[in-house]
Amino acid sequence: MKQGSTLFLKAAVFLIGALVLALCIFLLPKVFSFGGGSEPELVFVYYFMVIIMYLASIPFFTALYQALKLLRYIDRNEAFSALSVRSLQVIKYCAFTISGLYTAGLPFLYLIAQDDDAPGIIVIGLVIIFASTVIGVFAAVLQILLKNAIEIKSENDLTV
C-alpha cells in the first residue's frame, strides 16, 4: 500500500513539474512578446514580471526535486532520518523564496492590472504568495515534528 501511495505522489510531482515546465517554455515567451500592450512605456514592467516568474521557477523545481527525494526516503524506510529533515528544510526555504519573489513583484502586477483593467491578475499573485507561504509553514512544522521524532527514536534506541 505504501509503495502505491508514494508512486501516486511521485506521478503527481512529475505531472506538476511537467505542467510548470510547459508553461515556462510556451506561455512565458508569449507574455514576453506581448510586452506593453496598450502602453509601450510599461514594457519594462512585463519584462520584470517574466524575469520574476523565471526566477521563481528555480526554487519551484528545486522543491519538487526535494519532494521526490523525500518520497524516495519513505520508500527505503529512511523517513525518520536527518536526510528527510534536510529535504524539508530545503522545501521550506524554496517556498519562502517563491513567496518573497512574488511579493516583490506585486507592485508590478498592480501596474499590469491597471493597464489591462484586469484586477484578477492581482488575485492570482496573492494566491501564489499565500499558497507558497502555507507550504513553507507546513514544511517548517513537519521539519520540527520530524526532528523531535528522530530525537525520541534515538533516545529509545539508547535505552534498549
pLDDT, position 2: 59
All cell numbers assigned to 10: 511521485
pLDDT, position 38: 59
Confidence tier at 7 by pLDDT (50, 70, 90): very high
Share of the chain above pLDDT 90, in %: 58
Q: Mind listing the pLDDT tens digit for each residue in 63-122?
A: 999 999 999 999 988 888 899 999 999 999 999 999 999 999 999 888 888 877 777 888
| Low-confidence winner among 3-12, 40-49, 92-101, 105-114 (lowest mean pLDDT) | 40-49
pLDDT, position 64: 97
Spell out the domain ranges in the chain: 2-159
pLDDT, position 83: 93
pLDDT surpasses 60 at 36: no
Q: What is the mean pLDDT of the chain?
A: 88
